[in-house]
Amino acid sequence: MHPSTVGPVIEFRDVSYRVDDVHVLSGLNLQVQSGETLVLLGRSGSGKSTTLKLINRLLSPTTGEVHVNGAPAAESDVIRLRRRIGWVIQEIGLFPHFTVERNIALVPAIEGWPAARIGARVEELLRLLGLSPDLATRYPHQLSGGQRQRVGVARALAADPAILLMDEPFGALDPLTRDELQREFLSLQKTLHKTVVFVTHDLREALRLGTRVALMQAGRIVAVLTPQEFLRSTDPSVAAYVRVFGNGLEFAENRGD
């Protein structure tokens, strides 16, 4: 991780987000540096996904500003902004009536790339994500969960965005497939150096994938730490999160059957 000289790629400045009178997010300050994977960790309802949606303006902050690439997101053209940001969600949201190929080619196609370039890009991405070229003409419902999620990642990468937002992308997968995809994510990140904001509630996933981990609680960021710092932290909320996850293993070891 090299601290960027050009400033953060994504920056939250005193951001709050309210729905009616409910404070979903308050006093959010956060910087994401170029090429790092920042993990937003926290339990359901802590505001992780909301934070993510503020970046590509699926939501707009009630107060404060979100800056992307040094400019206030609120002032940029929302369509352009979104096409420069890859977006992967747990439900995947592949278009069921599009083939794998067309799903991956979505952003290049609406950006008006020539067909030959789109074809080459799709082929390249299938290879990159370890998907067989035969799958190109299949429909999403004909794929396994892991394959679908890979297609989701390929689609997000299609127009080569510098920023990738991932909202519990591996949450719905079985542990083995999840492990596989996490490993692939790490090796992809080694070559692609995307700026990634990754949402999860799984501590193991956070520590494995994150350059830094931001723990969220009730709409606030409690701490932003490297994985090593996170494990050693004496902050009660951080320690509590680590303890709960550690417990699972200890219980298993102490069952004695």
Partner 1 sequence: MNVLRFLSQNHEQVLELTAEHLWLVGISTLFAVLIGLPLGIVIARRPRLNKLVLGSANIIQTIPSLALFGFLLPVPWLGQRADRLAILALTLYALLPIIRNTYTGIRGVDPAVVQAGLGMGLTDTQLLLQVQLPLASSVILSGVRVALVISVGLATIAAAIGAGGLGEFIFRGLAMVDDRVILAGAIPAAVLALAADLGVGWIERRLQAR
Binding site for partner 1 (CB under 8 A): 56, 58, 79-83, 87, 89, 91-97, 106-107, 110, 139, 155-156, 165
- Other Cβ atoms less than 10 A from the Cβ of 96: the count is 9
Q: Min. distance of Cβ 82 from partner 1 in angstroms?
A: 3
**Residues linked to residue 87 through DSSP beta bridges, in sequence order:** 165
Indicate the residue among 96 and 114 with the shorter CB distance to partner 1.
Answer: 96
Q: Min. distance of Cβ 90 from partner 1 in angstroms?
A: 8
Q: Min. distance of Cβ 215 from partner 1 in angstroms?
A: 25
Both tokens assigned to 22: 């409910």
Indicate the residue among 199 and 223 with the shorter CB distance to partner 1.
Answer: 199
Task: For residue 80, give the nearest of 12, 15, 161 by alpha carbon.
Answer: 161
Q: Min. distance of Cβ 256 from partner 1 in angstroms?
A: 43
Task: For residue 13, give the nearest of 48, 59, 55 by alpha carbon.
Answer: 55
Indicate the residue among 91 and 250 with the shorter CB distance to partner 1.
Answer: 91
Indicate the residue among 83 and 178 with the shorter CB distance to partner 1.
Answer: 83
* Residue 227 · residue 210 · CB < 8 Å: yes
Backbone angles phi, psi at 125, to 5 degrees: -70, -40
Both tokens assigned to 150: 């890979």
Indicate the residue among 150 and 212 with the shorter CB distance to partner 1.
Answer: 150
Identify the burial level of 254 via C-beta atoms within 10 angstroms of its C-beta, where 0-12 means exposed, 13-18 middle and 19 or more buried.
exposed
Q: Min. distance of Cβ 248 from partner 1 in angstroms?
A: 29
Task: For residue 230, give the nearest of 246, 253, 219 by alpha carbon.
Answer: 246
Indicate the residue among 7 and 93 with the shorter CB distance to partner 1.
Answer: 93
Q: Min. distance of Cβ 46 from partner 1 in angstroms?
A: 20
